[in-house]
A and B are shown apart, each in its own frame.
Chain A
């Protein structure tokens, strides 16, 4: 017979819920406002959303040691904070992309923004918890909203993308739950720290069970982090969804996934389950290489970027596999810098988006579209070139510093071979990033009508581009402070 549970409110530590709560309230408020006030404009929604995100940010920042709360399912530790900050900042920058020059139906609807906020809540839940249930809920909340957001783009491709993403997501959810079940069955708990304790006590016996659980968890997270072989959705979904969402997907869901992966796998790796380490090693190499060589042959910039983000995620998994503090720091540093660069690149695609596919019947952004851009609009071409070189890890632009720190982490823990593979991959990668540069700078223009490229340009977008470009170019100035903060948070939360 189950004994009743008595709860002490003080022990709930509700403030820990505050960040999530703010956005939930925000979303509901937005919906209500849309009901009562007619003809509210997207600029209003956007700005409200940004405001709530900023509020949330305010609630998140301000950290003093790991805190638990709400039936101890919440764990607000360093990496949770950083992850949330990254998530929120990214969101704050991606939402305003709705203020493009041309109007899109989804951006006119309050639901879009509400869903967007719910999605953020989902991600936050994923990172602030070490309880499999809450993580699951966060995951699903986020994913479900995301599917819908994609579909709201309201084009055949968008639907196809949404359905593909959804179906695979459902399968991934199945894997996740099964893995959770196995952990639960073995340890009788759904709290990661608890599971860890029990497993370590038992020297991970029965190992096969642990491994099975890990495998399914890999399947589930692998889908979110687009690890081979669960990466197949990425290019299609990116291609199908609007550029801002695609960019968003390439940054935010992954960071959430990374945090969960850190909590789960590092526990295993560090406690010496070599099997997991080896498998991760294999996955990392496979993911980076396969994505890179496939990216070589893409005709569409967006798809190319999709593959490139896969390989970036792969190298992040490398950081998780290495699992030292430096590696985890590298992960967050890398991702912060990567976020701004990707923001820039996708915003650029968003700007040059044209209503009709003038250059290719299928693709929105075929390479040929950019040929000779330097002659038509030099500034745009130059900035795009900077983003490309930055993504390629060309010094002294943003991503290089992340890559540098990651490599250094790998080398310091004697993963020389891994480091070699990473640099070799960046050597391959530079080719497809450069392909765009070659098209923009070395080819003759197909048209001299600049307006074709600026139909979607608007001041907010330009501002965002400028900001992203600044950060990308002068990133060296932010590396030091970022490093200090991240190192402090990461190490304080024991990673």
Chain B
């Protein structure tokens, strides 16, 4: 079975390296095809492993030693257990589709080959992240996906905004990574190893305070990758990247790495429920916070990005409250319908010649039915309507919140569900129905190539049916993960489900109703609350104003004032003092003979005076 593991892991690397050979060349179709094939191979291998793990249990291999110094020794080790295999399957599945999709999407891009090289490299890093059997290995993937997202967000580097967003994403993640590193160091110095099995076996013996610290540090890392408040701003800006990238990295896989980390460290977090609850609360907050921003935004991709944020919030609620398998489940379903949503948006963008403002679209249903249907499916799934995938996972999360007696969280999520339904259908309505605004720009939108549509169909199907695997999934992952049972009597449960469905549907209905009638009045946009939302609570502005500007100013001050004017000047001053004193001493050499003689006599006289005045005992 190991060979499948290595195939699954290294096929993407091979693809990336192979394609990289042609990176500098103009577009070559076969690069895209080869890449897609290799990723497909990796996917098949992952599925085989899935079955294998299901039958024979986890698989653990150690490839070779990496770092060893003092008591520290870190191998390249990989583990394929219930959790990682689910992640692998999800990742490779979405990746394959995205690769195929990109062949169509990047059709006219001159850096076609480079794109696929990066994309495959990302898949490789992601595989390392999920498959590694120790924290540092995870950190490798962690940084690797960061690098790839930097490369891919800034793929169109000639755009200032793109390269800026890329740097922002990288740096924000670095901030979080520092937290994560601290967590790793603490783990090492406490337990002397980075191996999951060793760590989780012994962590329970540690002093709770230390476990708490570890938990917090690790979660800081997770916050960066999963763009949780306050490190969330990069995700929206990351939409500068090509849409397949947004679909793969910023919706389906990378951003969920944080959730994966928390799930992976389940044994650790179960020991510190208070931290877990904090995580859940933050998640709930983000769920609302992001949804609210999605309400008013007019940028096609940003809306979806915010909804991703909000869904990540949901996952963290589940993970925080200890319902790891539910979090993982939502992670998976979300990957399907969210990537679908993004890829559909990609089609729309192409049709609209990269126009992103949904206010300028409308009535596209006529010209691109398939996309419209797929996106609607995705939106329904997102809104969590029975029997679509979103319903099962999301509803479970609300139940968990209720079950934990965290009614406040439950309420937040409940509201969030409503908002989600509203904004996703606001988007659908504005894009596909209503007035044909695009006519004004004289565009003639057209449907994407067929194979692109076909590539999307599997996702569409999964978005519909994935929910029904719930029990199989539950049974499978809880072999590893702590099981979580919900004990709510059926009456209450039914009411809850009804309520959730109700608010979701009413959200949808409201959206349809309003936008059929030409949307909200303009006057609304003058309102303060609207302004706050449309400016993302002025947080990016605040960062710019209170962090970046002062930092730049301070750096400049250090350089000009401290380094040059003080430190360096002091050094030169010392030298100059000697030189100047030389100039002074030089006057002694007047060259006049009388002066010379006087100096000699003076010397004698002074010494004599000394002899008289100062005479230490013999």
By beta carbon, the residue of chain A nearest B575 is A431
CB distance from B599 to the nearest CB of A (A): 4
CA A172 to CA B603, docked complex, whole Å: 12
Give bound CA distance, A297 to B585, whole Å.
Answer: 10
Are A219 and B589 in contact, with the CB atoms below 8 A?
no
Complex: chain B residue closest to A235, CB-CB:
B589
Name the contact of A428 in the complex, choosing from B578, B591, B603, B608 (C-beta under 8 A): B578
Q: Mark out the residues of chain A between 209 and 266 whose CB falls within 8 Å of any chain B CB in the assembled complex.
A: 211-212, 215-216, 218-219, 222-223, 228-230, 232-233, 235-236
Asked if residues B582 and A274 are in contact (CB atoms below 8 Å), the reply is: no
A223 CA to B603 CA in the complex, in Å?
Answer: 11
Which residues on the B side are within 8 Å of A228 (C-beta)? Answer: 603
Provide the residues of chain B in CB contact with A185, threshold 8 Å: none
Indicate if A208 sits at the interface (CB-CB under 8 A). yes
Interface status of A167 (Cβ within 8 A of chain B): yes
Report yes or no: B612 in contact with A208, Cβ–Cβ below 8 A.
Answer: yes
Say what secondary structure dominates the interface of chain B: helix
Task: List the 4 shortest-distance A-B pairs measured between CB atoms, nearest first.
Answer: A211-B611, A296-B582, A297-B582, A293-B582
A 79-105 binary contact with B (CB < 8 Å = 1; else 0): 000000000000000000000000000
- Cα A222 to Cα B586 with chains together (Å): 20
For window 39-87 of chain A, which residues contact chain B by CB distance below 8 Å? Answer: none
Q: Which of B578, B591, B601 contacts A236 (CB 8 A)?
A: B591
Residues of chain B whose beta carbon lies under 8 Å from any beta carbon of chain A:
578-579, 581-583, 585-586, 588-589, 591, 593, 595-597, 599-604, 607-608, 610-612, 614-618
Contact A232 B616 (CB under 8 A): no
**How many angstroms between the C-alpha atoms of A279 and B595 in the bound complex?**
23
- Verify A215–B593 contact, CB threshold 8 A: no
A171 touches B582 (CB 8 A): no
Query: B377 to chain A: closest CB distance in Å?
Result: 76
Docked-complex contact B585 and A230, CB < 8 angstroms: no
User: When the two chains form their complex, are residues B618 and A203 in contact, meaning their CB atoms are under 8 A apart?
Assistant: yes
Q: Does A164 contact B (CB under 8 A)?
A: yes
CB-CB under 8 A for A273 and B618, given A293-B582, A297-B583: yes
- Measured CB to CB, the closest approach of chain A to B617, in angstroms, equals 8
Nearest CB in chain A: distance from B618 CB, A: 5
Contacts of B588 in A (CB 8 A): 229, 232, 290, 294
Set of chain A residues within 8 Å of B618, measured between Cβ atoms: 203-204, 207, 272-274
CB distance from B602 to the nearest CB of A (A): 6
A235 to B601, CA, bound (A): 19
A335 at the interface (CB under 8 A from B): no
User: When the two chains form their complex, are residues A275 and B616 in contact, meaning their CB atoms are under 8 A apart?
Assistant: yes
A168 close to B612 (CB less than 8 A):
no
Which residues of A are found within 8 Å of B596, using beta-carbon distances?
A: 164, 168, 232-233
> B589 to A232, Cβ gap below 8 A?
yes
Say which residue of A275, A294, A431 sits within 8 Å of B586 (CB atoms): A294
Q: A172 touches which one: B591, B600, B602, B615 (CB < 8 A)?
A: B600
8 intermolecular pairs with C-beta atoms under 8 Å apart? A175-B604, A212-B608, A216-B604, A222-B603, A232-B595, A232-B599, A279-B610, A297-B579
Q: Which residues of A contact B (CB under 8 A)?
A: 163-164, 167-168, 171-172, 175, 203-204, 207-208, 211-212, 215-216, 218-219, 222-223, 228-230, 232-233, 235-236, 272-275, 278-279, 290, 293-297, 428, 431
A90 to B596, CA, bound (A): 29
Shortest Cβ gap from B595 to chain A (Å): 8
Interface residue from B581, B600, B604 paired with A293 (Cβ < 8 Å): B581
Chain A residue nearest to B605 in the complex (CB): A215
A167-B593 CB under 8 A given contacts A275-B611, A275-B616, A293-B578: yes
B585, A294: Cβ atoms under 8 Å?
yes
Q: Which residues of A contact B581 (CB under 8 A)?
A: 293
Contact A168 B578 (CB under 8 A): no
Does A274 contact B607, Cβ atoms closer than 8 Å?
Answer: no
Complex alpha-carbon distance, A428 and B599, angstroms:
25
B599 surroundings in chain A (CB, below 8 A): 229-230, 232
Interchain CA distance A236-B596 in the complex, whole Å: 11
Name the CB-closest residue of B to A203.
Answer: B618
User: A215 contacts B586, CB within 8 Å?
Assistant: no
- A420 CB → nearest B CB, Å: 16
Query: B582 contacts A279, CB within 8 Å?
Result: no
A278 surroundings in chain B (CB, below 8 A): 616
B residues in contact with A223, CB < 8 Å: 600
Considering only CB atoms, which chain B residue lies closest to A271 in the complex?
B618
CA distance A272 to B618 in the complex (A): 6
Complex Cα–Cα for A163 and B596 (A): 12
Closest CB in chain A relative to B613 CB, distance in Å: 11
Q: Find A279's partner among B593, B600, B607 (CB 8 Å cutoff).
A: B607
A230 touches B600 (CB 8 A): yes
CA distance A172 to B617 in the complex (A): 29
Chain B's closest residue to A268 (CB) is: B618
Shortest CB distance B482–A (Å): 69
> Shortest beta-carbon distance, A233 to chain B, in Å?
6
CB distance from B33 to the nearest CB of A (A): 61
- The answer to whether A294 touches B589 (Cβ under 8 A) is yes
Contact partners of B608 in chain A: CB under 8 A: 212, 215
> Within 8 Å CB of A171, what residues of B?
597, 600-601
Q: How far does the Cβ of B523 sit from chain A's closest Cβ, in whole Å?
A: 75
- A296 near B593: Cβ-Cβ < 8 Å: no
> Could you tell me the distance in whole angstroms from the C-beta of B593 to the nearest C-beta in chain A?
6
Residues of B within 8 A of A275 (CB): 610-611, 614-616
Query: Contacts A232-B599, A275-B616 given; 13 further ones with Cβ under 8 A?
Result: A164-B593, A164-B596, A171-B601, A212-B611, A215-B608, A219-B603, A223-B600, A229-B599, A230-B599, A275-B611, A294-B585, A297-B579, A428-B578
Is there an interface contact between A296 and B578, defined as CB atoms closer than 8 Å? yes
Chain B residues whose C-beta falls within 8 Å of the C-beta of A274 in the assembled complex: 616-618
Contact of A229 among B578, B603, B615 (CB under 8 A): B603
B604: A residues at CB distance < 8 A: 175, 215-216, 219
Contacts of B597 in A (CB 8 A): 167-168, 171
- Bound together, the chains give a CA A236 to CA B588 distance in angstroms of 12
A290, B585: Cβ atoms closer than 8 Å = yes
The docked-state distance in angstroms from the alpha carbon of A296 to that of B578 is: 8
* Nearest CB of B to A425, in Å: 11
CB pair A294 B582 closer than 8 Å: yes
A233–B599 alpha-carbon span in the complex (Å)? 11
Q: CA A168 – CA B610 in complex, angstroms?
A: 23
- Cβ–Cβ contact B593 & A163, under 8 A: yes
Residues on A with beta carbons closer than 8 Å to the beta carbon of B607: 215, 218-219, 279
* Cβ distance A300 to chain B, nearest Cβ, rounded Å: 12
CA distance A247 to B541 in the complex (A): 75
Q: How far is the CB of A305 from chain B (nearest CB, A)?
A: 15
Which residue from chain B places its CB closest to the CB of A277 in the assembled complex?
Answer: B616
Most chain B CB inside 10 Å of its own CB: which residue of A175, A218, A233, A294: A294
A219: which B residues are within 8 A, CB to CB?
600, 603-604, 607
Contact A215 B611 (CB under 8 A): yes
Residue of B nearest to A273 (CB): B618
Most buried by A among B602, B603, B614: B603
The answer to whether A207 touches B579, judged by C-beta atoms less than 8 angstroms apart, is no
A223→B596 CA distance, assembly (Å)? 11
Q: Give the chain A neighbours of B595 by CB distance below 8 A.
A: 232
Chain A residue with Cβ nearest B612: A208
CA–CA, A164 to B599, complex, Å? 13
Contacting residues, chain B, for A296 (C-beta < 8 A): 578-579, 582
Q: How distant is the Cα of A222 from the Cα of B603 in the complex, in angstroms?
A: 10
Q: Which residues of chain A are within 8 angstroms of B601 by Cβ–Cβ distance?
A: 171
Q: A427 → chain B, closest Cβ, in Å?
A: 10
The answer to whether A297 and B586 have CB atoms under 8 Å apart is yes
Complex alpha-carbon distance, A194 and B616, angstroms: 25
**CB-defined contacts of B610 to chain A, threshold 8 Å:** 275, 279
Q: How many angstroms between the C-alpha atoms of A295 and B585 in the bound complex? A: 10
Chain B residues within 8 Å of A164, by CB = 593, 596
Complex Cα distance, B117 from A190, in Å, reads 99
Chain A residues, Cβ within 8 Å of B589: 232, 235-236, 294
A275–B616 alpha-carbon span in the complex (Å) = 6
Contacting residues, chain B, for A272 (C-beta < 8 A): 618
User: Shortest Cβ distance from A241 into chain B, in angstroms?
Assistant: 15
